[in-house]
Amino acid sequence: MIVNKPQFDTENIKSGTAYWLNKYNYSRRTEISTPCIVKFVKPLSIVVGFYSEKNKGFEELTIDIKSIVDETFELTPMERKVDLK
């Protein structure tokens, strides 16, 4: 069966991977901008965990693919820089 809808790439996005999470409100102002860790990945949703400065604790957030497509949320892979000596 061919699916013609956007989906998360479950082959490349793995649990335990670090991403930078941005959440924007309706006027494109940043509500959340923080590093996060992917906890679970499904084709239509992803669960991330992050430390909330506002609530002073660790939180989980489920992001559906629609929120990525409409740019409410943005996930950017974080890269590990290796010191070259």
> How do residues 10-38 score in pLDDT, each as one tens digit?
899 999 999 999 999 988 899 999 999 99
End-to-end, the C-alpha distance of the chain in Å comes to: 51
Q: Where are the domains of the chain?
A: 18-77
- Closest C-alpha to 34, from 57, 13, 11, 12: 57
User: Predicted confidence band at 80 (pLDDT cuts at 50, 70, 90)?
Assistant: confident
> How do residues 54-78 score in pLDDT, each as one tens digit?
899 999 999 999 999 999 999 999 9
Give the pLDDT of residue 44.
Answer: 93
Task: Enter the pTM of the model.
Answer: 0.82
